[in-house]
A and B are shown apart, each in its own frame.
Chain A
Amino acid sequence: MTEDRNNRTCQEFQEHLADLIASGENVSNNPHLQTCANCRALLADLETIAEAARQLFPIEQPKEDLWDRIELAIQKEEGSARPD
């Protein structure tokens, strides 16, 4: 476990990491990271995951018959809404 000059341990740093990231602050300037390769690697990995997420999941095609099912359900609804 690494301690920075302010005696902040990895555990303490990582417990606050979600807040630091979400605050929009440039986390890479955080003093703990200047001395801790492990937490630098963690931050780099989280960055890589967030970047990769943007490329994730190609647009998928539903099955061809889905429209038939929807159409049928619409007709059913309209039929039951119609007065006898």
Chain B
Amino acid sequence: MPRSNSAKNSSSTSESGPTASLVGAADGAARTIMPSSNSPDANTLALAQAGDHHAFAQLYSIHKRRIYSLCLRMVGNAAEAEDLTQEAFLQLHRKIATFRGDSAFSTWLHRLAINVVLMHLRKKGLPVMSLDEAMEPSHDDGPGRSFGAPDLSLSGSIDRLALERAVAELPAGYRLIFVLHDVEGYEHNEIAGMLDCSIGNSKSQLHKARLKLRDALRTSLQKEGQQ
């Protein structure tokens, strides 16, 4: 289940031990879903489910930023993210009557949008999971191994723009896992279910994604140092 930013922040401050933030979902921290402002009132939802066009437009208005941002993170391209947002809301329109309220509406919609993105990536022929070599044929030794003498460290602080850039440049499979786990807060078992892969695979891909980000950020720091 995804966590909201506020939930992430609260869980990070309540955890102890330097690896708590790396573990993420495995720590069992409580998750909230979305800010309450994103929860449509039951009446709007019921009206939209009954086919009321204005109510549906209101749902779009409430959720558009969150869904578009999710698509953008997952594909890293604004035009593609808009197309996927459109497809997600079209699917919502087709399926909204089937929503039974077993989960929060926002969670349901979030999951629906992720499925739309995954379908899209599969159609594009991207091996969404597990095929490291297909994604990174030139990386014989995997990313970011750090054997030997201590070298440039990130020193506990990261430039946000540099990190966003590095995430955008990750191979799509790595980016997907990183965004789902570290940004959106899904647990490995949920990711494994979504991507039809093993939990171990999800964990290992996430680790590799973080190592690649570390490589990219250190390279960026080195370049800055040379200027």
Contacts and interface: CB of A to CB of B under 8 A. Distances in A.
A27 B9 contact: no
B110 interface: no
B21 A11 contact: no
Contacts of A58: 69
Interface residues on A, range: 35 or more
A53 B89 contact: no
A11 B147 contact: yes
Interface in B70-88: 72-73, 81-82, 85-86
Contact of A56 (B163, B203, B207): B163
Interface residues on B, range: 35 or more
A44 B69 contact: no
Interface string B166-180: 010000000000100
Interface string B131-150: 00000000000001111111
Contact of B65 (A14, A37, A59): A59
Given A60-B72, A62-B85, A14 B147 contact: yes
Contacts of B101: none
A37 B157 CA distance: 18
Contacts of A46: 22, 207, 210-211, 214
Interface string A44-55: 111111111111
Contact of B85 (A49, A53, A57, A66): A66
Interface string A30-42: 0000000111011
Contacts of A26: 17-19
B105 interface: no
Interface in A1-51: 1, 9-11, 14, 17-19, 21-28, 37-39, 41-51
A9 B146 CA distance: 11
A69 interface: yes
A10 B57 CA distance: 56
A10 B60 CA distance: 51
Contacts of B178: 53
B12 A51 contact: yes
Interface of B: 5, 8-9, 12, 17-19, 21-24, 26-27, 56-57, 60-61, 64-66, 68-69, 72-73, 81-82, 85-86, 89-90, 93-94, 144-151, 153-154, 156-158, 160, 163-164, 167, 178, 182-183, 188, 200, 203-204, 206-208, 210-211, 213-214, 217-218
Given A60-B69, A61-B65, 10 more contacts: A25-B19, A28-B19, A37-B150, A41-B146, A51-B12, A52-B163, A54-B21, A56-B163, A61-B68, A71-B57
Top 3 closest pairs, chain A to chain B, by CB? A18-B207, A53-B182, A22-B203
